[in-house]
Amino acid sequence: MASFWARVTFPRRLVPALYFRRNIQMVSIDPATQANYTDISSTHVHFDWDINWSKRVISGSATHTLLAHQPVDHVIFDSSYLTIDAVKIAGKSAQFDLKPPHPVLGSALVIPLASNWLPEISRGHDRIQHHGSRDRCRMARKGTYSARVRSVLPVLLSAIRVSPPSALIHGGKRVGEETVEYVYKQPVSIPSYLIAIASGNIVYRPFPAIPGKEWSTGVWTEPELMESSYWEFNEDTARYVEEAEKIVTPYEFGVYDLLLLPPSFPYGGMENACLTFITPTLLAGDRSLVDVVGHEISHSWFGNNVTTADSGHFWLNEGWTTWMERLLQQALHGPAERDFSYIIGRKALTEALKSYENNPKYQRLVIHYEFGEDPDDAYSSIPYEKGSNFLLYLERLLGGLDVFVPYVKDYVTTFRGKSIRTEQWKEHLYSYFRQNGGEEKIRLLDSVDWDAWFYGEGLQLPDPSKLAFNATDLKDFNSNQKVVFLERLSDIGGVSLPATHIHHLNATYNFNTSSNAEIRLRWYNLALTTPGATSYARDAAEWLVDPKGLKGRMKFCRPVFKKLFRVDPKLTTETWKLNSQFFHPIARRLIDKDLGIAEHRS
């Protein structure tokens, strides 16, 4: 038995929402980790933490249950920004070596073990107990976890709350003054990147329950945003979960709650088990952007259940999830809604492919990363859109949804709780249709240009779908149709609209003041690239850093900052330097690169 203790210090800018780095593990050597997880891995971890708000520090213990997959005399943990106070084995102090930080992978924590037994290990006020037996593993590692966290502000984790009840928020005690112990459990094995914690001045409201369902849904947010958040998401959230169960398999995580994060959150959503983090830019006031919630719910099956084995096969998470999200849109709103989403996504895919023309490896669906290469550098719409278009192509090739949905059920059931690579997915696809379609389906699969889909580069998809859209009457368009309309105006064969047309469009449809962030993004993509219409530059700059709705989500801020810089470099640079501290560190680093600003970030 061994224990180790660590003090976890988060920079001030990450409070009140505390983010955990993604650690995707795989069967063969994952280039994005330093851990020796193929030798020994954690099957369960228990956290015992205290949040010190005055010092901005989390300290405590983490007790791991370890499983050895072969004889091993040391264990290596990935760590980042941890202060390791001590390591104990069998209650006695033991040696450990915290390696210098790698710029991408963090610091490897190396702990010697006795040659034929597995100890209890703990980190700095994180105690970790490891018990193990020998076994040969075949899949990337997942595990369960539990936690006890003490704080003067409410605490949420990506797990089932044991106590206090959600209805009591802070256990009936005074928020910000009295300490409450929060107890959580996550009985479903999940990859480590889904372990998340958030704490702050937040409140909760459940969504209406669906009769006969054992799971529940609800929303957490700051008190000031509860009414708008509840209205925005209460109508569709539980319906998305219910429809997904009909299409795939029963929802197994027990709770599906939403947490509205501060505006600096750099993504649309993060699919933490039981607790999806979402951006406040979804608060459009007309429920027009809730499809992002449908996407994160779909991750409950594709990513949280069947997981990519490493970042090089990221499309297995995001391509499948996007395909599922659009099928949910069809279930709730009709087939046209599904087709329309593919049309909208095509523009984002084209822009993403163009952005990697100088690094075509990142245009591929399956990417081979070198050890230590940062997968964030390849993060774009490509795995989402290229992946979902590939699945849509296979769906239509093999006979439509009546044929494809039964296969999807079998895919999720076969790989439930496992982490896989693209070749395993393909092998199962062939196996299923060999048994449920015979030689006819196999001939169809053999006709697929697999190498072009997996490793193809360039701006065109293999076997592109023939979806088309003709705009007619804008006054009757919903928000999604307006998005497509603006994208079509931005992509009309290299011809620029006159500035007078741009001004007329804004005067008629008020795009420049729309509360829908998706519309504003497309509007500035159009206005800032139209000669003579650059008078919208200052409006764009103010929109990006509006303190009431800071557009920290990288989908919005990065492309607008780029276009703004081409129009008015001085305005862009001044705006960014004055406001960059309010953005998430990932967004800051990437926007610094976008704008050519080389600054040391402490």
Known catalytic residue: 296? yes
Residue 86 token pair: 């001590």
Q: How far apart are CA 43 and CA 45, in angstroms?
A: 7
Q: How far apart are CA 68 and CA 254, in angstroms?
A: 30
Per the CB < 8 A criterion, the answer to whether 42 and 66 are in contact is yes
Q: Detail the residues annotated as belonging to a binding site for Zn(2+).
A: 295, 299, 318
Ordered strands of the 107-112 beta sheet? 74-79, 107-112, 97-98
Q: How far apart are CA 59 and CA 193, in angstroms?
A: 20
Q: How many CB atoms lie within 10 A of CB 180?
A: 21
Contacts of 355 (CB under 8 A, 6+ apart): 380
Contacts of 557 (CB under 8 A, 6+ apart): 266, 544, 551, 583, 587, 591
Per the CB < 8 A criterion, the answer to whether 215 and 254 are in contact is yes
Q: Of 271, 296, 373, 518, which is the active-site residue?
A: 296
Per the CB < 8 A criterion, the answer to whether 514 and 523 are in contact is yes
Contacts of 110 (CB under 8 A, 6+ apart): 74, 75, 76, 96, 97, 98, 99
Exposure class string for 292-309: b at 16+ Cβ within 10 A, else e: bbbbbbbbbbbbbbbbbb
Q: How many CB atoms lie within 10 A of CB 201?
A: 14
Q: How far apart are CA 7 and CA 98, in angstroms?
A: 13
DSSP string, 318-361: HHHHHHHHHHHHHHHH-HHHHHHHHHHHHHHHHHHHHHTTTSGG
The distance between the two most distant Cα atoms of the chain, rounded to a whole number of Å, is 78
Q: Of 240, 384, 411, 524, which is the active-site residue?
A: 384
Per the CB < 8 A criterion, the answer to whether 347 and 355 are in contact is no
Nearest to 295 by CA among 237, 230, 353: 237
Annotated catalytic sites, by residue?
Answer: 296, 384
